[in-house]
Structure 1
Amino acid sequence: MVAIKKASINDVEILALLGRITYSESHGHFINNQEDLITYNNEAFSIEKTSAELQNVNIVYWIAYIDNLPVGYAKLILNTDNSQVSSKKQCRLERIYVLREFLGQKIGYELYKTVFEEAKSLGFEILWLTTYIKNESAIQFYERLGFNKVGSYDFIVNGKTFENLVFSKKTAN
């Protein structure tokens, strides 16, 4: 059974390591230069950056556990706007990642439900996200959840551009 817990500053090492491993597992094969991947991971998932994010009141993390083992996480950024999304009350689902070994166990779905309910309970009208245009499994996952494509976004890894799709979903019917 999956247990989802809101992360705190005490979870900084777990989140930094989960971030680094899951990003490499899910996106590493899209980045041709291994040094670019390492540089990105060193910046995006450092202890310092993760610690600062955990102390930011507009960023919320959750960790998914199976048998007390951390196997995935989600990150929600509150009060962040995307010009391609038509709402003034929007927030961003920046990450849902699950360790490769645990994919297919509905952990990502459980993390999504937690994030969605938080966004809804905080009064946000729209939840939006981006995903790499070649990440078919993520695109299919978000479309099954009712997200709609609303635009595109360029994601930069060490000066190289990766086209991402922007998806959004209303939090209320």
Structure 2
Amino acid sequence: MENIVITKVEISDLEKLQRIAKKTFFDTFAPYNTAENMEKYLNENFSEDTVLSELKNTDSEFYFAMYLGDVVGYLKVNFGPAQTEMQDNNSLEIERIYVLQDYLGKKVGQVLYHKALEIAENKNLQYVWLGVWEENQRAVQFYKKNGFTEFDKHIFKFGDEEQTDLMMRKNLI
């Protein structure tokens, strides 16, 4: 898909970010989880306070994928202490790449992924890592196709359920 523009998300974009974050997360995971767990997660993790706090964190960055002026996906990357697990200053965590359902398979995720790689390379980092739900086969295949390998697993608490995330990494050096 041509004409995808990547823009850095600013604090003034808070509502837009909340909207795309809630919609893409819901569309991706609602079919596999209870309504109660989904509602609890969305309310806690995408509240105005939570998202504003993430936007203000200098060790995290958000980017929108724009197509014809509309937000169609977004990326969140973390450095050092903002990383959810490893907090390695030689790595970049891709915490989120989410794309609206209508744009899946149209290279939006690939463009966002390349933005994450560009950031890591510009900072001379050694590797990129992420956690992905083992049941999200579309995402697991996407990362494998892009050279990521599994190195560990961890438990992700989703409401009253425990789910397994695959920890994956790609060396840059």
TM-score by length of 1: 0.93
Whole-Å separation in 1 of the counterparts to 2:160 and 2:128:
28
User: Identity over the aligned pairs, expressed in percent?
Assistant: 28
The equivalent residue for 2:139 is 138
The equivalent residue for 2:152 is 151
Structure 1, unmatched stretches of 5+, are none
Whole-Å separation in 1 of the counterparts to 2:171 and 2:18:
30
The equivalent residue for 2:70 is 69
Indicate if the aligned counterparts of 1:155 and 1:164 stay in contact, CA closer than 8 A: yes
Indicate if the aligned counterparts of 1:64 and 1:107 stay in contact, CA closer than 8 A: yes
Mark the CA change 1:127 to 1:36 in structure 2 (over 3 Å): closer, same or farther.
same
Equivalent residues in 2 for 1:16-55, closer than 5 Å: 16-31=18-33, 33-55=34-56
Whole-Å separation in 2 of the counterparts to 1:151 and 1:68:
39
Q: Deviations over 1:23-67 (max 9, x none)?
A: 111111121x20110110011111111111111100100000110
Indicate if the aligned counterparts of 2:128 and 2:170 stay in contact, CA closer than 8 A: yes
Whole-Å separation in 2 of the counterparts to 1:104 and 1:14:
23
Q: How far 1:88 sits from its partner (Å)?
A: 5.3
Q: What is the identity, as a one-letter code, of the residue corresponding to 2:145?
A: R
Structure 2, unmatched stretches of 5+, are none
Q: What is the identity, as a one-letter code, of the residue corresponding to 2:12?
A: N
Give the length in aligned residue pairs.
Answer: 169
Indicate if the aligned counterparts of 1:16 and 1:45 stay in contact, CA closer than 8 A: yes
* RMSD, matched Cα: 1.5
The equivalent residue for 2:12 is 10
Indicate if the aligned counterparts of 2:92 and 2:128 stay in contact, CA closer than 8 A: yes
Whole-Å separation in 2 of the counterparts to 1:100 and 1:163:
23
